[in-house]
Structure 1
């Protein structure tokens, strides 16, 4: 197989500098997420208590409230940024994002179904389990509808069908919910948030997110070849069926695991790849790691902003990312419209 090249390529040193800068931004946002909250916390003393295994109120707040929130911001943002970069490269569409193949909607439906059935009252841990299971079912359904040798356009249409079905089922559950308080709880969960999550939620979400991200990174070289067209990629020796399997299963696991614990957090997978693509000379394989880190930094920063805004009750994270992403989407559509003239 022959590597594809993109001109003008950035130097390896500049790419490493970009990744180093993004990594520092993620680290700074992660530390700030641990240090910032509604109540004052002596972060240094709390960290010392945790490292010394001393039981104290500040140590409890740090480990049970702020650490799960920061970890979920890191992992969920990483998964969404990476999935967005992969989807845009694979579909060769600058408006593509992880929800386009229906995985996000299916994961949301799985969690909503747990709410509706009353299983959430048995154990809150069944909520992410239901979301992850529904995301995997949606992945298998996508394969069944699109077929093993589906073209990219067929895959998109199948994804739209799965997404529409998931959205309709969520609306049906809300319509049939006999308890208005349960319907309200479902609506608030769908808005997306990391509040009130525990380390157990992190432990449930991390394995599928990590597995899905590994599968998505494995598509890097094929995505470079696909930038030159499907026929060219096939002539270079890439098996597009394997690429589709890795992509769909990777998005199902990574995004499904993320949505299952946080609810719907939109626009991260759309905005981040666009901002970083010019910095990697538009090369898809180089964009993956950069978008993953950028997604983590943006999600952590947005979650910090949620806690700093003087609003009660707390704004949902999905609302904030939508407010950030919607103007960006309008500007992108306007720019693409200008380029088509």
Structure 2
């Protein structure tokens, strides 16, 4: 377990440094690091501090959030096919952002788009909790999430369909593909408080998830309050996924694929899978963002598109594996 932690930490550090130094601009690595550390007032210093550093920080924060929430959802639902977007937060946040773009709020106010996305995520999670009820089962929670997600997706499609402005519709489509381009330290500061709250909540559910592997009755006999556990998982997931969607758009498959890859290395223990998935998610998103910048840099390949291209085949493999185990 310690070896896995060291490997993942080293991988994240190496990829973070690479994310700072690699890009379409041909710059000297040593000079780039000096310009970042000293915050020198030059074009290189501006590129490092205002463009590359926020992008690398957001990749770590969002990747860790998606990996952690994916492991928590899979542990709580005891289903390796569970995804953070299952409770409808991603779709609700996307709807909030779409409305901000369509109404012109995003253009009139610099933080209008991410704040609207956060508001959408909040409304979405409140609806899910209201529909599922305080003592509803895991199945009820899943059904409530599907309802909210479907409703948010339908309303998003309706906004696109009725949009009289083709430029707004184009902006909506590109934003929903997910990207870390053109993000600043303002976006980092906006997302960080919500993510820290979510990390603390999800980081505290390990013991409950371990007990839940024995069944709900056994977990309650061990002193686990299942209602509190569910609230911690749902609210924590909503906080990190909502903040991620607010600043970067919809980035899928990270929370589904990363826990699946790392599960065999932690002995399928949900508590150990939480921290390892957070590190693995950060590494995956850093690697994906570096790839986006180096492959077709002039075409603005979207990060969410790349993660979907990578994640979809792995998801199909996971379905095939689960089906073979059930036979």
Contact map agreement 2:35 2:48 (CA 8 A) in 1: no
2: CA distance, partners of 1:132 / 1:23: 30
Contact 2:24 2:297 (8 Å CA) reproduced:
no
* Pair 1:69 & 2:76 matched: no
- Report whether the alignment pairs 1:176 with 2:166: no
- Aligned counterpart, 1:329: 315
For 2:13, the equivalent position in structure 1 comes to: 27
Aligned to 1:12: none
Q: Does 1:147 align with 2:149?
A: no
Contact 1:136 1:249 in 2 (8 A): no
From 155, 162, 167, the equivalent of 2:153 is: 167
After superposition, the CA RMSD in angstroms is 1.0
Residues 131-280 of structure 1 aligned to structure 2 (within 5 Å):
131-280=117-266
* Residues 226-235 or 70-79, more deviating: 226-235
Following TM superposition, by how much is the alpha carbon of 1:338 offset from its aligned partner in structure 2, in angstroms?
Answer: 1.7
Distance 1:156 1:280 in 2: 26
* Alignment correspondent of 1:10: none
**Contact kept? 2:178, 2:250, Cα under 8 Å:** yes
| 8 Å contact from structure 1 (residues 42, 58) kept in 2 | no
* Counterpart residue number, 1:90: 76
Deviations 1:136-179 (A, max 9, x none): 11111111111111111111100111111111111111112110
Q: Does structure 2 retain, via aligned residues, the 8 Å contact 1:81–1:273? A: yes
Deviation of 1:47 after TM superposition, in Å, equals 2.4
* TM-score with structure 2 setting the length: 0.98
Show CA shifts across 1:24-78 (max 9, x none).
1001111100101111122321322333342111110000111111011000000
Output one character per residue of 1:284-337: Cα deviation in whole Å (capped at 9) or x when no partner: 001100000000000000000111113531210001000101111111111222
User: Does residue 113 in structure 1 map to residue 109 in structure 2?
Assistant: no
Gaps of 5+ in 2: none
With the length of structure 1 as denominator, give the TM-score of the two structures. Answer: 0.94
Q: Is the 8 A contact 1:225 1:233 kept in 2?
A: yes
In the alignment, is the contact (CA less than 8 A) between 2:194 and 2:243 conserved in 1?
Answer: yes
Corresponding residue number in structure 1 for 2:110: 124
2:19 is the alignment partner of 1:44: no
Farther off after superposition, 308-317 or 238-247: 308-317
Structure 1 residue runs of 4+, over 6 Å off? none
How many pairs were matched up? 327
In structure 1, list runs of 5 or more residues that go unmatched: 1-14
